[in-house]
Chains A and B, each alone.
Chain A
Amino acid sequence: MPPVTEHIVKSYEDELNRLVAMITNLGQEVTSQLQKAIQAIIDHDLKTADRIIKDDPKIDRLEHEIDDFAVRLIALRQPVAADLRHVIVALKISSSLERIADNVGNVAGRFTELKKNSKLEPLKTIPPLMNLIEEMVEGIMTAYITQDDKAAYELWMQDDEVDHLYNSFMRELLTYMMEDPRNISPCIHMLIMGKNIERMGDHITNIAENIHYLVHGTLWSKDILADYKKSKGRIKKKAPRKGK
């Protein structure tokens, strides 16, 4: 379980906390990029889409700062046990978050390519899909900060929903392409937007797996989810007793 007791060396404790704060900050930046992208698509706002692309290096910089800080922490503090897991997981989560931001950048890029086609009907499917991702990113960051493994499992499973929406979006695009060959070019851009959003969901499942490792110290396996689903069944049955 996560160490609740404070470290004897206060500056070490501060550094570990700072690492969490840096990840949280990166998570917020990624969420803000997502929100901007959603709004840009809804408002057909190509300028905002452009700004998302221009802001991506800032996110890369945050990731580098986290990497640098974590490497120094390993070198200078030689963390072990839960502390070590904390640092390793910070490295992995920062990279997943940065990849999500890249995906957002790609979505924005493809959106600017659409230009006059930016009002095409199937595009309406994208904002709700990205809204779901945005909620999941916020959820996974909370799960990380509170080291809530169960919330992480729930979010892991929520990726099925993303995949489902992505598949139906693909079918929708196919219909449009078959209807009129002039739709093919913009639909390909939208297909790639969809693919990028689907990838964001995969990065979120990776973060969920990292949270499991952070909390339990064991590597992720499919059994974990099966066990969780089983235990959830039991908890549900016992739910009425919780009241006392």
Chain B
Amino acid sequence: MLTNTPKLSVRKLSLFYGRQQALFNINMDIRKNEVMALIGPSGCGKSSFLRCLNRMNDTFDTVQVVGNVLLDGKDIYDKSVDVVQLRACVGMVFQRANPFPKSIYDNVAYGPRIHGIAKSSADLDAIVQSSLERAGLLREVHDRLHQLGTSLSGGQQQRLCIARAIAVNPEVILMDEPCSALDPIATARVEELIDELRERFTIVMVTHNLQQAARVSQRIAFFHSGELVEAGETGDVFTNPQDKRTQDYLTGRY
């Protein structure tokens, strides 16, 4: 179901932390229903870039963003954009699972409640059920929805966070190293989940695990020193990278 219309279009994006420039003139298209993996050495700007896609950088006064990020052709940095709505539309999953100190149920119901998505409590129940289902967690927690989210294992907590992110019907999900704190089995579950989620969502994911990027992404973008060095089909980049910096990074010669 890959289409060529970009879901997200990034144009001439630069980012400054105070006077220090962290991203330089990034241009990138992210297609609908694809997993785009962002890779690169620590400090290369990939996480900063990811945070630009739902204006998470707005929360810091010293950060200045120049350029455009178009979501379905509309600039998300436009003054008329409601940032809360934007973040419901472009959800985020972090490196460390960060469930609220609330029940499993309330963790997932939190978003739909504040965004007024559910019309009734039965409606809310249905949203929580289907979100947990889609996050592949329902079977494991269906009989203990009122236990604390923090009582789950690391892998389950991460899938709970994914359920929380998809409960508000986002279109894009941003993931910042979602598996770096998980064991191989929990990682495989999340990767399988990402593959399933791709049917409904567009996913942009930062990862340090190159093999994970190879396994889950359709396209890959390599960042270096705040620049986008190379972006392309994952299979192409992993067999025949065009830029020497990409080559050196992928093969461990960086």
A contact set with B: CB distance below 8 Å: 1, 3, 5-9, 12, 78-85, 216-218
Decide yes or no: A8 and B252 within 8 Å by CB, A3-B247, A78-B211, A80-B210 being known contacts.
yes
B60 within 8 A of A: no
CB neighbours of A218 from chain B (8 A): 240
* Total A-B Cβ pairs within 8 A: 45
* Contact indicator A84/B238 (Cβ below 8 Å): yes
The dominant DSSP class at the A interface is loop
Contact with A along B225-253 (1 / 0, CB 8 A): 00000000000011111001011101111
Residues of B within 8 Å of A, CB-based: how many?
17
> Does residue B214 face the partner (Cβ distance < 8 Å to A)?
yes
Q: A1-B244, A3-B247, A78-B211 are in contact. Are A84 and B239 (CB under 8 A)?
A: yes
A8 engages B238 (CB within 8 Å): no
User: Would you call B253 and A85 a contact (CB within 8 A)?
Assistant: no
Q: Nearest chain-A residue to B241 (Cβ)?
A: A81
| Binding site secondary structure of chain B | helix
Query: Which residues does chain A contribute within 8 Å of B238, judged by CB atoms?
Result: 80-81, 84
Taking a contact as CB atoms under 8 Å apart, the answer to whether B251 and A80 are in contact is yes
C-alpha spacing A161/B210, complex, angstroms:
46
Centre residue among A3, A7, A12, A80 by max chain B CB count within 10 A: A80
Contact B253 A6 (CB under 8 A): yes
Q: Given A3-B247, A218-B240, does the pair A80, B214 have CB atoms closer than 8 Å?
A: yes
A79 contacts across to B, CB distance below 8 A = 251
Closest A residue, CB atoms, query B253: A5
Given the known A-B contacts A80-B210, A80-B214, are A3 and B240 also in contact in the complex, defined by CB atoms under 8 Å? Answer: no
Instruction: List 15 A–B pairs whose Cβ atoms lie within 8 Å, in order of A's numbering.
Output: A1-B244, A5-B248, A5-B253, A7-B252, A12-B252, A80-B210, A80-B238, A81-B237, A81-B241, A81-B247, A81-B250, A82-B247, A83-B251, A85-B240, A216-B240
Taking a contact as CB atoms under 8 Å apart, the answer to whether A7 and B240 are in contact is: no
Give the nearest-CB partner of A77 in chain B: B252
**A3 and B239 within 8 A (CB):** no
Contact call B252/A9, Cβ cutoff below 8 A: yes
Task: Report the separation of the CA atoms of residues A79 and B238 in the bound assembly, to the nearest whole angstrom.
Answer: 9
Q: Chain B 188-215, CB within 8 Å of chain A: the 1/0 string? A: 0000000000000000000000110010
Question: Do A3 and B251 contact each other (CB < 8 Å), given the known contacts A80-B238, A81-B241, A85-B239?
Answer: yes
- In whole Å, how far is A11's beta carbon from the nearest beta carbon of chain B? 11
- Of the listed residues B240, B246, B251, B254, the one surrounded by the most CB atoms of chain A closer than 10 A to its CB is B251
Q: Residues of A contacting B239 with CB < 8 Å?
A: 80-81, 84-85, 217
Residues of B within 8 A of A85 (CB): 239-240
The residues of A that contact B210 with a CB separation of less than 8 Å are 80
Q: How far is the CB of B182 from chain A (nearest CB, A)?
A: 19
- A3 near B253: Cβ-Cβ < 8 Å: yes
> Which residues does chain A contribute within 8 Å of B237, judged by CB atoms?
81
| Residues from chain B with Cβ under 8 Å of A8 in the complex | 252-254
How far, in Å, is A113 (CB) from chain B's closest CB? Answer: 46
The distance in angstroms between the C-alpha atoms of A82 and B238, with both chains bound, is: 9
Closest residue on chain B to residue A83 by CB atoms: B251
Residues of chain B with a CB closer than 8 A to A82's CB: 247, 251
- Is the Cβ of A217 less than 8 Å from the Cβ of B240? yes
CB atoms of B248 and A80 under 8 A apart = no
Inter-chain contact B250/A80, CB cutoff 8 Å: yes
Besides A80-B239, A80-B251, A83-B251, 13 more A-B contacts (Cβ < 8 Å) are A3-B247, A3-B248, A3-B251, A7-B251, A8-B254, A80-B210, A81-B240, A81-B247, A82-B247, A84-B238, A84-B239, A85-B239, A218-B240
